[in-house]
Amino acid sequence: MDSEAIINVLDQGGPLAIVRYFQWTSFSKSYSQSRYSLLILDPRHRDITEVDIPQEALPRVIPRLEGFQPIHRSAEGTVWERNGFGAKARRLVPRAKRLALIAQKG
């Protein structure tokens, strides 16, 4: 998904989550880069689509986090949600699909 499509999804106002995590480089464990992923709820297919947000799109994405609520914060990263994404995902998406999404990042 390109930057414009990501901005359009953010501007639509549907239930979304944004995950910020840190990626450590192989040459230095003290240097990390922030990475962002957008989680889009697909109620029609009872699934969650994950889209990596390109670094060049971040200056346009970060200001749009105003309507998002932080739901998890730790040394490994942060999760923000909008319009009850977590509750709707638990209700619509089968547990196995949610666990598979978590496992692929782990």
Segments making up each domain of the chain, as ranges: 3-105
Q: What confidence score (pLDDT) does residue 29 get? A: 67
- Spatial contact of 22 and 77, defined as CB atoms under 8 Å apart: yes
Angle in degrees, CA 20, 25, 30, rounded to 5: 85
Residue 10 has pLDDT above 70, yes or no: yes
Residue 102 has pLDDT above 80, yes or no: no
Distance CA 7, CA 93 (A): 24
State the pTM of this model.
0.86
pLDDT per residue as tens digits for the range 32-87? 788 999 999 998 999 999 999 999 999 999 999 888 999 999 988 999 999 999 99
